[in-house]
Chains A and B, each alone.
Chain A
Amino acid sequence: MLSRTADSLYWMGRYIERAENNARILDVAHRMSLLPSLTGEHRSEWQSAITISGGEQHFAEHYGTPNETNAVYYMTLDRDNSSSIYSCLRAARENCRAIRHAVPTEVWEAVNTTWFDMRDMTQNRLLSRGAQQFYDWVKERSSLFRGVTVGTMLQDESFHFARLGTFLERGDNTARILDVKFHILLPQGEQIGGSLDYYQWTALLRSVSALRNYRRVFGSEVVPSLVATLLILVDAMPRSLHHCQGEIVAHLDALGAAYGKRHECHRLAGETHARLRFGKIEHIFNVGLHEYLTDYVERNAQLGLEIADNFLLTR
Chain B
Amino acid sequence: MNKPTAFDEMSLGDGSVRSVYNQVDKWLKDTPLERMDLKRREADTIFRRLGITFSVYTEGGDPERLIPFDIIPRVFGAEEWKRLSEGAIQRVKAINAFIRDIYHDQEILRAGKVPADQVLRNEQFRPEMRGLEVPRDIYAHIVGIDMVRTGENEFYVLEDNARTPSGVAYMLENREVMMRLFPELFAGQRIAPVDTYATELLRTLSSVAPPHCQDPTIAVLTPGIYNSAFFEHAFLAEGMGVELVEGQDLFVEDSRVFMRTPAGPKRVDVLYRRLDDDFLDPLTFRPDSALGVPGLFSAYRAGNVNIANAVGSGISDDKSIYIYMPEIIRFYLGEEPILNNVPTYSCRKPDDLKYVLDHLDQLVVKEVHGSGGYGMLIGPTSTKEQRDEFAKRIKATPHVYIAQPTLALSTCPTYVAQGIAPRHVDLRPFVLSGTQVRLVPGGLTRVALPEGSLVVNSSQGGGTKDTWVLEG
Contacts and interface: CB of A to CB of B under 8 A. Distances in A.
A157 B260 contact: no
5 contacts: A2-B260, A101-B234, A261-B263, A310-B262, A315-B265
Given A94-B225, A261-B263, A101 B51 contact: no
A112 B51 CA distance: 7
A100 B51 contact: yes
A133 interface: no
Contacts of A312: 262
B238 interface: yes
Interface string B251-266: 1000000011111110
A94 B246 CA distance: 15
Contact of A2 (B48, B49, B234, B243): B243
A137 to B, nearest CB: 18
A229 B263 CA distance: 38
Contacts of B260: 2-4, 314-315
Contact of B262 (A101, A112, A113, A259): A259
B261 A314 contact: yes
Interface string B201-244: 00000000000000000000000110000100011011000011
Interface size class of B (residues with CB under 8 A): 20 to 34
B136 to A, nearest CB: 28
Q: Which 8 A-B pairs have the closest CB atoms?
A: A101-B238, A311-B262, A259-B263, A3-B260, A101-B234, A101-B237, A6-B262, A2-B249
Given A259-B263, A315-B260, A315-B265, A3 B50 contact: no
B248 interface: yes
Chain B: interface secondary structure?
mixed
A3 B249 contact: yes
Interface of A: 1-6, 94, 97-98, 100-102, 105, 108-109, 112-113, 116, 157, 161, 255, 258-259, 261, 310-312, 314-315
Given A1-B262, A3-B261, A100-B238, 19 more contacts: A2-B260, A3-B249, A4-B246, A4-B248, A6-B261, A6-B262, A97-B51, A101-B234, A108-B51, A109-B50, A113-B49, A157-B262, A259-B262, A261-B263, A261-B264, A310-B262, A314-B262, A314-B264, A315-B260
Chain A: interface secondary structure?
helix
B305 interface: no
Contacts of B261: 1-3, 6, 314
Given A101-B235, A101-B237, A4 B262 contact: no
B48 A116 contact: yes
Nearest to A97: B225
Contacts of A102: 238
A145 to B, nearest CB: 15
Nearest to A111: B51
B225 A4 contact: no
B244 A101 contact: yes
A259 B248 CA distance: 22
A311 B251 CA distance: 16
B456 interface: no
Most chain B C-beta atoms within 10 Å of own C-beta, residue among A5, A101, A102, A109: A101
B262 A255 contact: yes
A311 B265 CA distance: 11
Given A4-B248, A98-B225, A109-B50, A258 B263 contact: yes
A109 B47 CA distance: 11
A2 B222 CA distance: 14
A314 B266 CA distance: 12
B51 A2 contact: no
B262 A109 contact: no
Contacts of A6: 261-262
B198 to A, nearest CB: 11
B49 A109 contact: yes
Contacts of B259: 2
B265 to A, nearest CB: 7
A5 to B, nearest CB: 8
Contacts of A157: 262
A218 to B, nearest CB: 41
Contacts of A259: 262-264
Contacts of B51: 97, 100, 108, 112
B191 interface: no
Nearest to A100: B234
A102 B242 CA distance: 9
A10 to B, nearest CB: 10
B364 interface: no
